[in-house]
Amino acid sequence: MPDRTNTIPKPPAECTVGWCAEGESCTWEPDGPHGWTRHHEARIDDVVSIFTVEYRYGREDDGLQDIRIDVLDDDLTTLAEIRTLSDALEVAAGIVSGHRGER
């Protein structure tokens, strides 16, 4: 059986992405034996939306490898998945206009 011990030291506890504000949180979880993934959760507004960003550390360039933002309602139903800047702008426009990012 292969050794699953993470060989990369755990990154600093503080939010290195810079997105944490009061009431938000980041946690690091092992991403196989070679890195860590940060799961960031935050409310976008009072009514809806928790989003999770996966930030990978310890891969080839020790930086951002992949970002996925899932916009969820309070029942954890996915309203949108953001993979590109175009997706992000579309969801942001929906939130501002009151459509809560639904696509």
- Alpha carbon distances (Å) from 40 to 69, 82, 91, 96: 9, 14, 18, 22
Per the model's pLDDT, the better-predicted residue between 4 and 93 turns out to be: 93
pLDDT value of residue 47 = 44
Q: Which amino acid is at 87?
A: D
pLDDT value of residue 3 = 47
Average pLDDT rounded to a whole number, residues 63-81: 58
Mean pLDDT of the chain: 58
Percent of the chain whose predicted confidence (pLDDT) is above 70: 3
- Per-residue pLDDT tens digits for 19-65: 565 555 666 777 666 566 666 665 555 544 445 555 555 555 444 44
91's torsion region: left (phi>0), alpha (psi -120 to 50) or beta? alpha
- Name the H helices within the chain: 85-97
pLDDT value of residue 90 = 72
pLDDT value of residue 33 = 60
